[in-house]
Structure 1
């Protein structure tokens, strides 16, 4: 049980180069607290990877680290339910207030919605 609620390096997005394409080309979903971007990986059978980005306008380092801790905790509990083969970037919505319970409730729904929106947006395009 303990092993399945970890957040190992294999399921993390690291570096600016990994975040950029997901944010630019991926589908997204938002609620009053979070914004989630989703982009399929080349290998659809791969584990989903998650990245957390907290802009400086969110607050000082203490506030940003608190956001990261709550988002990572929510990821630990719902990452096995997420669609496999996707890269996800999660960030707080502009002007949102930190609410750990809201993050834990909303993140699984946002992950599903973001993957559906990506799939829905790519089906009508010719490229």
Structure 2
């Protein structure tokens, strides 16, 4: 019996203090070929924004995006993506692409995060090297 892979589903959710709070988007991952092409290292270079947005639209499974005037759900189709606000689609596609590449985007570090100050370890004293002696 062989291993049955399950294609990865990327689920984007945004915290309450994020500008996209409440938005949930589910997208398919990419084949290695498509992934490399979007990075510009495949047989075909599709690393331009237009190609990335087209692949984003094809990878879209579902979202909870609603029409701002009617409150009706907007279908998760390439045609609906094309009809939406360019800035919003680029933001969402950027988060999807970052998830594909393993980049973690999120809120800034909490206030309790250390500021990168002095390491608690003792520092190693640095002294000039002594002149070497000829053997």
TM-score, normalized by length of structure 2?
A: 0.32
Q: Between Structure 1 and Structure 2, which shows a larger proportion of helix residues?
A: 1
Larger radius of gyration: 2
TM-score, normalized by length of structure 1?
A: 0.33
